[in-house]
Amino acid sequence: MLPDRRILERTIFPYILERKECHRIVFVGCRWYTKRYSATFADKDYCTIDIDPKQKKYGAKNHIVDSLENLATHFKPNELDVIICNGVFGWGLDDKPAVERAFAASFDCLRMGGLLVVGWNDITKRRPFSLDECDALRQFDRFSLEGLGTWRYKTRSFNRHIFDFYAKGKEV
């Protein structure tokens, strides 16, 4: 298993699974290898979203075909506990205004203390711009994930996969 997938599945997912306050979860972007996450999160209220209708078959029972930009048309404000957006920025969600809309909608839909996980690749081809220049992400607090001890965790993967953790307000 690649180092980034191992961190996602063996450190980040357990953190979420162990916390009953992390119940309503949206996972962004589906592929064949994410299909089994429905079973991982079977005891949670787990929903998936992907802009590409072809990926529906890999999504949760509760799957949305749409862009993350439109998350607020599917969820009420403050409704979600966790959003996991891994490998989407730089993999289709590239345009700066679209990224701003996507993370602004994520902020609106998360409850106070809710967690946003952004996984991205720090290589030219997959980094449309610096995420540190994203205004919507500046609304969040940086959150140091237990077990990783930092808000920005650089994995040892060949494609420089990084996980950033953001909280809406302090509590998670």
Ligand X SMILES: C[S@@+](CC[C@H](N)C(=O)[O-])C[C@H]1O[C@@H](n2cnc3c(N)ncnc32)[C@H](O)[C@@H]1O
Give the residues lining the site for ligand X (CB under 6 A). Answer: 28-31, 34, 49-52, 55, 67-69, 86-88, 91-93, 102
For the bound state, the minimum distance from the C-beta of residue 121 to ligand X, rounded and expressed in Å, comes to 9
For the bound state, the minimum distance from the C-beta of residue 131 to ligand X, rounded and expressed in Å, comes to 15
Distance CA(68)–CA(136), nearest Å, equals 13
For the bound state, the minimum distance from the C-beta of residue 170 to ligand X, rounded and expressed in Å, comes to 27
> Letter for the amino acid at 106?
S
Nearer to ligand X, 89 or 140 (CB): 89
Distance CA(75)–CA(122), nearest Å, equals 30
At 122, list the tokens. Answer: 């720090």
At 71, list the tokens. Answer: 């998350």
Beta strand 80-86 with 24-28: parallel, antiparallel or unpaired? parallel
3-state secondary structure of 59: coil
Nearer to ligand X, 85 or 172 (CB): 85
Nearer to ligand X, 86 or 155 (CB): 86
Nearest residue to the partner ligand X, using Cβ = 92
Beta strand 161-167 with 141-142: parallel, antiparallel or unpaired? antiparallel
Nearer to ligand X, 49 or 83 (CB): 49
For the bound state, the minimum distance from the C-beta of residue 92 to ligand X, rounded and expressed in Å, comes to 3
